[in-house]
Every structure is written in C-alpha cells, then in structure tokens.
Amino acid sequence: MAPSDADVPVVAFVSVRHAYGTRVVLNDLNLSIARGEALALVGRSGTGKSTLLKLINRLLLPEAGTVLVDGRDTRQWDPIELRRRTGYVMQEVGLFPHLTVEDNVTLVPRLEGWADARRHTRALELLALVGLPPAEFAGRWPHELSGGQRQRVGVARALAVDPPVLLMDEPFGALDPMTRVELRDEFQRIRRHLKQTVVLVTHDVVEAFALGDRVGVLDDGRLIACETPDRLAHTTDPRVRQFLDALVPGVRVSTVDRLPSTVTD
Amino acid sequence: MRLLSFWASHSSELAAMVERHLFLVAVSTLVAIAIGLPAGIIAAHRPRVGRPLLAVASIAQTVPSLALLGFLLPIPFIGGIGPRIAVVALILYALLPIVRSTAAGLKSIDRAVIESGVAMGMTKGQLLWLVELPLALPSIVAGIRIATIVGIGTATIAAAIGAGGLGEYIFRGLSMVDSTVILAGAIPAAVLALIADGSLTWLERRLSPGRRGLARTTAIAIGAAAVISVTVLAGGFASARPDAIVIGSKNFTEQVLLGELLAQTLERRGIPVTRRLNLGGTFICDSAIRSGDIDAYVEYTGTAFTAILKQPVLKDPDAILSNLRDAYSRGGLSVLAPLGFNNTFAILVRRSDADALGLRTIGDLRALAGRWRPGFGYEFAERGDGYAGLSSAYGLQFAQPPRVMELNLVYRALATNQVDVIAGDATSGLVKALELAMLADDRGYFPPYHAVPIVRSAVLLRQPEIGDAFAQLTGRISEDDMRAMNAAVDVEHRDVAATVRDFLSRLR
C-alpha cells in the first residue's frame, strides 16, 4: 500500500442523506474512518445502522451527499470490485445451505479464480482462525452447525480474501448471551491478528464498547457522538448520556471504563 | 389373462407405441424446460413481466386437451396432423408447472442468502448459477416431474390426431367397446407415469440442499436424461421415413382396416409406407390429405359429396363419382375406382323388436316413433344428410330428441335398451354380434357410400406403381367381406394387421 494511502480515510461519509420513501433514516451524516480502525456504531432499531453499512459496499447509493471508499465516490466504484474487497457479516449469517463449510468459506476466492490447492489451504487457515477445528468442520453442512458456529463460519467467509474493510451488521445479535460473549471475546482475539478496518453496528452498547476503538452513537439519523470508549463513557453531553443509560438496562455506563465481559455473563 | 395374451400377441406393436409415447413426452418436456426455465427465472426476478407470463401459461393449461388440439390443427407450421401438433400441445401443458415451480423455487430462497451473495460481490450470473438455481433445483425438478406425469397422461389424447402412442390402444378399445384393449394402453401409460414419478421424486430428494454429492447426482441425472432422450429421439425421428407413402384413416375400425389394407397392398410391392391411422373424423382426414400430411386414405362417395363438397344429396352412384372426380382433381386429388362395398347408413333396431313387431323397412318405424328413443353418433346428428333429412323423408317424429354419443357407443346403447333405434354402418361387425336388425331404406333416402381410395395426384404421377397397386383392389371387397373383417377385429379381437394379411392372401 502506498504511504499516501494512509492519510486518506478508508471510508468517509460527507453530508449523506438517505430515506426510504418519506422515512428519513440518515440525515446530514459526516463520518470518517481511518485505516485499521474498528468503529462500533450503536443506535436504536431503525436508526439507519444497517443502511449506513450498505452505503459502504454499494448495496445502496446515497440519496444526497457522498460516500467515499479509499477516497473514491462509491458511485464511481465498480460494485463487484468494491464488494469483493469488503467483507460483510450479518446477523442472519446467510450461509449457502447447498455448500459445505469449506465451500462457503472459499466462495469469494473461487469467484476470484484461486487454484483449488490455495483455496483449500486458505479454508483450513480461516477455520482455525475462527476457532473451528478444520478436520471436524470443513466438510460439514450449514444445517449441522449451532448458531455460534454458523456465525464463526460467516466471519471466516468474510475474511477469505483478506479484504481491507470488514462490515459487521449485528453479527452476534441472534445468539444467546453466553455464545455472544464468547464470540465477542473470540473476535477481539482475531482482531489482534488482522489489520482490517472494521465497521460494526449493534444495538448492544456493551458490545460496542468492547469491540470499538471508537464508538459512534446514531440517533434520529444523525451521528450525535463519535469518541473512544473512555471518553464516551465520561461524556457530559446530556443527550448521549441519556441514550447510553437507556440502552444498558441496569448498568450505568459511566461507572465502567472498558466494560468487562462479565456484565452480561 | 386376456390382457396378458393381448400384450403377448401385440408385443412389437406395444413396444413401438411405448417408444412413440416416450418420444412425444421427451421432446415436449425438453422443449418446455428450455422455454419454461428462463421464463420462470424472469417471472421470479421481474414480477411485472412474470405475472402476465404465468397468466398465459395458466390459460393454456385450462383449455381441454382435445379442444386445444382442435385449435392447433389449422395453424400453419405447427398445425396439421401427426406428432408435431401433439408435441406443441404437450409443450403448452408442460409449461405452467415448470414456469411456476421455477419461479416459486427462486422466490422461496432465504433473502439473507441472496443478500450475502450480492454483498460478497457476485455478479447476477454468478448469483443465479452458483446460488439461486442450485437452491431452487428441488422445486424445479418437482415442476418437471409434474410436467412429465401430466405429459404422459395427456399424450394418450395425441392418438386422436394420429400422433400415435399408447392412446391408440385406448381409442381402439373405446371404438371396440373393449376394456381389455383400453387397459392394454392405459396400464403401460400409468406404469410409465409411476416410473417417471418415482425416479424424479428420488432426484428431487437427492438435490435438496445439504446432501453430499450434489454435483455428482446432478451429473448422473443429466447424463441419464441425455441418454434416454437421445435414444428416444433417435428412435422417434428414425421412424419417420421421408420417402414413404403416408396412409391415413379415420378413427373407427373399418377405416383402420382399410388404411391397413392400402398400406399392406403397397408394402407387398415393396413400396415403403408410413401409417397415420386413427386420425379422427372426416374433416381431419380431408384437411390432412389436402395439406399433404397424408398421401392416401379411403373415403366414402356419399360422405365426400355431401359433407366435404357440401353438395345436395345425389342418389346415382355414377353421377356422384364423376362429380367427385371433377371437384377433387381441382384440389390435386385423385378419386380411384370403388373397392366394391357400399357402407351406407343403416337404421338398426334390436332383432327381437324387429321380429316381434314385424319391422322390415324404415317406413315401418313411423307408427312407433312417438314412443321410441333414437341414438346417433355425432356426425349423423349434425349432417344435413343425416338425422334431419331422414326424419323429413320418412316423416318420423320421435318421442324425444336423439341421444348423441360416440358412434361406437351407439351400438351398445341399442343392445342394452338405452335407446331403441340407431343409425349405424351397414358394414359394422357389431350388427351380427349384438343381434341387431337392419331396416331397408325403401324410399332410397341414403345416398350411396361406396368406398374409394383418395390419393394425391402428385404421388400417382411420381410413382405410377401406386395406382397400379390400388387398382388391384377395385371391386374386390364385398359388404360381407367388410362386415367379416370388422367383426374379426371388433368382436373376435383379432389384430388389424393380421386380419388384413389374411384377407389379402385369400384375394389372390
């Protein structure tokens, strides 16, 4: 990567507005995500969190304003090229039921024309990375996996061609609390091995604090705060304060720094 | 047991019919897949285009099969008798299940799966081939299964327009009112349907997602389908000889016998023949020979004059014949010399009634008509030289309007007392078998119906030996001969080909 690239934000939103019909979900949104950063966005349901992610890999185009990826307007990107370099993990996982775990994980490499041997090696590497022993799991079918295992495969699949950007839409949202914490810890471990820029959206403030280098708060289609977890935890902005308290029932965010995983244990 | 011996004595014919049946179904199903699969994909991806598409397919499905064949007959290129039109009709029937199940299979795919495919940067084509079609495959195969089974059933109707297949036994059995012959065609058709159902259900299960060896199963299935199709197609196309003389006939026993008679007469001289027997009624045969779909068939002079040429009834056989020759020659057709017998309409009653009431002529019915119920075939009921003319010529006023039914059922209806008087054929083998009596036409109402071969003039010019061969039959078949052959087939269940062979050997 050329050194000058480091100065350009990987993803930037400039005055972005998006609406479904008359329902405005994003309004005058400005946001810049630096290379290698993990940005966690929290917000209530229906506040445009998923929309924001889909604007990055051009599943959607903004109604007004500009979304830049590597300094280039998504309108100018070839959508296929853009999506191949953008890993995408979502709550429903969306594994292909007619493909084995290994074939699911190496589908993008296949589209990219990798040789069989290289794909196989990569599958073993990825499965080991997400904590699924390849010997046991490579040949399994999606319906033979638990929810947590499926999501691990989803993460492995998104990382297959080592994309510079990883988008995660409520990745652990459908899991039971135990599995959820387990996967979150696992993902923190994985993150240490990787240099991806991660954009994660969640309605779970604890998760956002655990995984984000910065945590952004979306409310009413706008970004009302975007800070490191430490600074956000001590914010004095009453709107943000109220928002965080409301989203973490029974726990005052201000009383914790980096929230321990035991909170939801 | 009778069924088994029937199959045993007709085994080569049965094999040919099964092959022809499979040919019709295979061709039509393959074409329907080729059209229906893309149409189903469009229907799923673009509902605005898809809805009218499905509506059209649904409408085609609701048209009764015989009516659909009737609509298609006069259409250029696809119309005309024979397998072509049957294949077109079967394609129309097969389309709906395939289009619908393809569309349904595609629409039922989990949205998250599609979205993750799009998000990982699949092109539309990759998404379709790698994700959508494999996941919709069980549903698509289910549609093909239904189309195939419907096709196997519907293809039996194809015999009505001379496309052949197992329906020939069914129609032959219906015309002989013989359930053995009906079953001889119906049971193999049902067995074919069960085999198709079983094997495609197996395939459907094998193809459901999350089964090992999906690719291999698909490969095996496609391979097997290809082998079967190629075999059946090769057989089907090979059977159509382009240089052969095509002999047609209408769809009742006497006509099938006469068609076979023409065919064997040519074959004895080494002239290759294709049989298109059992085509349907007078008008189907007439349009078939005028369009060149068949080269020859046997017509009756009275029928040709009144029903085809729409001329008023003439009683003089020679006048009819010379008029016919003039009119037909303008259409490029030659009317050859009569074969001998006169198959006029016969007014028939039960022999017991005739004896008890002393009935001898049609005029004797006048006193009874007020209490009697008549029964007629469709043609007699409709034609001007049929029921309407008869009742005015003889002043018959029946108690109720005639019951109209398939000609072959009329004899049974009379024998079982459902009707009291019928119009049948003078040469029917059932007259004797069912103990019926023929009333004399003392007023000479019915015009002569002498059997004459009609041949396309171009064929006679090109191959004069055909005219020579048919000339050998001139005046050689008496009413008794014809009645005996009809009885051999209808009553004794003898094979048509064997009956004709015996007759021809006795002729020399």
**What was the pLDDT predicted at B175?**
63
Q: What are phi and psi of B8, to 5 degrees?
A: -60, -40
Distance from C-alpha of B396 to C-alpha of B364, rounded to nearest angstrom? 10
Q: Confidence class of residue A6 from pLDDT cuts 50, 70 and 90? A: low
- Distance linking the first and last C-alpha atoms of chain A: 41
Identify the burial level of B337 via C-beta atoms within 10 angstroms of its C-beta, where 0-12 means exposed, 13-18 middle and 19 or more buried.
middle
> Are residues B428 and B466 both part of a single domain?
no
> Are residues B366 and B473 both part of a single domain?
no
H-run or E-run covering B349: strand B345-350
Q: Average pLDDT, stretch A239-256?
A: 66
CB contacts of B114 in chain A (<8 Å) are 94
> Are residues B334 and B461 both part of a single domain?
yes
Q: Does B125 touch chain A (CB under 8 A)?
A: no
CB neighbour list of residue B21: distance below 8 Å, 6 or more residues apart? B152, B155, B156, B164, B165, B166, B167, B188, B189, B192
CB count in 10 Å sphere of residue B416: 10
Contact (CB<8Å) A97/B135: yes
**What was the pLDDT predicted at B295?**
93
Which parts of chain B register pLDDT below 70? 74, 76-82, 162, 175-177, 209-216, 230-242, 508
Contact (CB<8Å) B120/A95: no
Q: Which of B108, B114, B115, B116 to mutate to test the interface with A (most CBs of A within 10 A)?
A: B116
Distance from C-alpha of B157 to C-alpha of B140, rounded to nearest angstrom? 26
> Are residues B220 and B122 both part of a single domain?
yes
Rounded to the nearest angstrom, the minimum Cα separation between B245 and chain A is 55
Contact (CB<8Å) A108/B110: no
**What was the pLDDT predicted at B501?**
94
H-run or E-run covering A217: strand A214-219
Q: Which of B439, B474, B498 is the last residue of a domain?
A: B439
> Are residues B128 and B32 both part of a single domain?
yes
Contact (CB<8Å) A97/B210: yes
Distance from C-alpha of B469 to C-alpha of A125, rounded to nearest angstrom? 84
Contact (CB<8Å) B113/A96: yes
Distance from C-alpha of B484 to C-alpha of B494, rounded to nearest angstrom? 11
Rounded to the nearest angstrom, the minimum Cα separation between B123 and chain A is 7
pTM, 2 dp: 0.70
Which residue in B119, B121, B135 is closest to A111 by CB distance? B121
Contact (CB<8Å) A97/B131: no
Give the domain CATH number at B350. 3.40.190.120
> What does B418-444 look like in DSSP terms, one character per residue?
S-SEEEEETT-THHHHTTEEEEB-TT-
CB contacts of A59 in chain B (<8 Å) are 115, 118-119
Contact (CB<8Å) B120/A98: no
Q: What is the DSSP letter of A252?
A: -
Distance from C-alpha of B470 to C-alpha of B394, rounded to nearest angstrom? 38
CB count in 10 Å sphere of residue A250: 5
Q: Please name the residues between 27 and 56 in chain B that touch chain A, using a CB distance below 8 Å.
A: none
- Count of domains for chain B: 3
Q: Does B130 touch chain A (CB under 8 A)?
A: yes
E strands within A49-152?
64-69, 72-73, 86-90
Q: Does B121 touch chain A (CB under 8 A)?
A: yes
pLDDT tens, A61-73? 999 999 999 999 9
Contact (CB<8Å) A107/B120: yes
> Are residues B320 and B371 both part of a single domain?
no
Distance from C-alpha of A39 to C-alpha of A213, rounded to nearest angstrom? 6
Q: Which of B208, B238, B268 is the last residue of a domain?
A: B238
> Are residues B251 and B225 both part of a single domain?
no
Among all residues of chain B, which has the CA nearest to that of A78?
Answer: B121
Give the domain CATH number at B282. 3.40.190.10
Q: Which of B178, B205, B238 is the last residue of a domain?
A: B238
Cα R_g (chain B), whole angstroms: 27
Q: Average pLDDT, stretch A8-31?
A: 91
Distance from C-alpha of A71 to C-alpha of A57, rounded to nearest angstrom? 14
> Are residues B331 and B361 both part of a single domain?
no
CB count in 10 Å sphere of residue B86: 29
Contact (CB<8Å) B121/A84: yes
> Are residues B195 and B218 both part of a single domain?
yes
Pairing mode, strands B273-276 and B436-439 = unpaired
Q: Does B502 touch chain A (CB under 8 A)?
A: no
Q: Residues B215, B219, B223, CA angle at the centre, nearest 5°? A: 175
Q: What Å distances lie between residue B489 and A243, B172, B188, B411, CA to CA?
A: 94, 10, 22, 15
Give the domain CATH number at B203. 1.10.3720.10
pLDDT tens, B32-59? 999 999 999 999 998 888 888 888 888 8
Distance from C-alpha of B10 to C-alpha of B6, rounded to nearest angstrom? 6
Distance from C-alpha of B250 to C-alpha of B270, rounded to nearest angstrom? 25
> Are residues B431 and B403 both part of a single domain?
yes
Contact (CB<8Å) A79/B126: no
Q: Confidence class of residue A2 from pLDDT cuts 50, 70 and 90? A: very low
Distance from C-alpha of B170 to C-alpha of B188, rounded to nearest angstrom? 11
Q: Does B357 touch chain A (CB under 8 A)?
A: no
Answer yes or no: is the ipTM higher than 0.95.
Answer: no
**Token digits for B306?**
């009144």
**What was the pLDDT predicted at B232?**
66
Q: Confidence class of residue A265 from pLDDT cuts 50, 70 and 90? A: very low
Q: What are phi and psi of A166, to 5 degrees?
A: -120, 120
Q: Which domain holds residue B93?
A: 2-238
**What was the pLDDT predicted at A260?**
44
> What does B449-476 look like in DSSP terms, one character per residue?
-BEEEEEEHHHHHH-HHHHHHHHTTTT-
> Are residues B232 and B259 both part of a single domain?
no
A234 SS3 class: coil
> Are residues B313 and B459 both part of a single domain?
yes
CB neighbour list of residue B94: distance below 8 Å, 6 or more residues apart? B28, B29, B32, B36, B147, B148, B150, B151
CB contacts of B116 in chain A (<8 Å) are 88, 90, 93-96, 154
